[in-house]
Structure 1
Amino acid sequence: MTLAVIFVVTPNVLLLDYAGPAEAMRMATEAGADLSITTCAPVPTLATSMGVSLSGLAPLPEPLPDDALVIVAGNAQEELDYARPEAQAVVDWLAALRGRNVRLASICSGALLLARAGWLDGRACTTHHGVLALLRQSAPTARVMDDRVFVDDGQVVTSAGITTGIDLALYLIEHRFGPELAARVARRLVMYARRGPNDPQLSPWLAHRNHVHPAVHKVQDAITRDPARRWTLDALAALAHVGPRHLTRLFTRHAGIGVVAYQQALRIARARQLLADPTLSMERVAEQCGFASARDFRRVWAQHVDDAPRAHRRAH
């Protein structure tokens, strides 16, 4: 089913808050993601932080498509901008969405609009470091986190602001359409990409991609599609149309990591996801991630994660 992505902007919107994530989503459609993108506002034309205007804006939609993703961009001068009637119209519209089957995301100070609409009550969230105090005032019961690039609290995802809006967009793309497609978008954007809603480190799915060597990317794409497969160096080298020894040199030089270490990092990332399912035994997790045994899985896990798999499962 097509994912409806609704960007919401208000007068004096911070242009990069909107344009960066919107371009990431547009590039995702070119990479094969099944989504539609609409930019909405309480007025058909509005000025941005750069002085240029956005026109042809759609009205705030009613009703929304089922399972829509609403992304609220931030502003340049929050206290002044959000005192305007256009901002209040957005708050009222957001409040009316509560209880519906939609997902909300905010970029930078857009979190303040979600807070005023009641979406952040009792939730973990974040925003730009310059308006954290305002967010705490606007949502006294929220768990405001000041050390996160973005925070995923299920139905609501909030980001720290400006360029992290692109990180947020890549995360949302990855969740809906998979890490390989998200990696292609990140590569086209020529950027390092963060995944972590609760982790400031680079996502293993998107890390080691800040290079432009097509053969290495082709091998990374293959491993990403099926990290559990028993890949041989010969098979990967054949995909890249180079010899095994040359692939080893290319991969280490351009990705900054060895082929085996890269695959193991993806397997551990997959294991983190599977451990969230308490019905899966350690042997089953190991098998689905491509490890020869649970013992082998624990040995590799210990090289990447401080706590043991069972402790990690209990903690998360």
Structure 2
Amino acid sequence: MKKKSKLMYIKSNYMLYLFILPAVTLVLIFNYLPMYGVLIAFKDYSVRDGILGSDWVGFEHFRSFLSSPNFLKIFMNTIKLSVYDLLIGFPIPVILALMLNQIRRASVKKNIQLIIYAPHFISTVVIAGMLYIFLSPAGPLNALITPITGNPILFMSRPEYFRTIFIASGIWQGAGFSSIVYVAALSNVDPQLHDAATIDGASLLQRIWHIDFQVLKPIMAVLFILAIGGIMGVGFEKAYLLQTDMNIPTSEIIDTYVYKRGLLAGDWSFGAAVGLFNTVIGLVLLVITNTVVKKLNGETLF
């Protein structure tokens, strides 16, 4: 009976399924079919022999990567950059949304939103170019620092500055746009709750904590789980564009290593193995975080 009822539902709502058919088709073609190529991570891939014709090597490429002298440095660079970015960057969109929610004049609020959303639409290549100009020895920042220090600081060449530059520029570019979800959630808060809390003597911070923040908690939990799942995907484009020969000790991450070894050096199988390793770590972190958040907060992604 259940099977018949499902078939009847599908038949009566076939137009809805036709609407989602293009999206499902795109996902199958561009997300699932390419998974077939993961096989080259376990083979000594040869373009002449193809994926099926290449020799199996098992986990040889994974062992080669894990035993390489650069593995620990590259892995720790990726983890540090991701964790610092998450710890510093995740709360800022929430804070921005809470601050925007306190602005009562609609015109002022719209102008501020326009300013903080705009950097999101700037290309990563342009952002990298701006950073090179602003932080160059003859750039505006060194123009302020040089009279004090006596010498310009080579920000883009010194490894100790890379993480700060990468994370700070990422927050500037994406925090405003990321706050849209939280601003939308806060727009549904009943103003009468704030009025009642004010009458009861609650301060502004108390109202934000006990009303606004409680509304944002479920959304924050889901977005935090997604952020943990993508913790190994730092962002290849900007990391590679900001990378120089001098800051390699801190700027070389798994994504840039895969690009150099897999594409530039033509070692397709090794690059695929490293990329698969990166993906599996992210998947494991996603499942663990989802389980922990579900037990602590009751919210879950799946």
TM-score range (shorter-chain normalised) is under 0.3
Q: Could you say which structure has the higher strand fraction?
A: 1
* Higher gyration radius (CA): 2
TM-score by length of 1: 0.21
TM-score between the two structures when normalised by the length of structure 2: 0.22
Greater RCO (Cα-Cα under 8 Å, separation 6 or more): 2
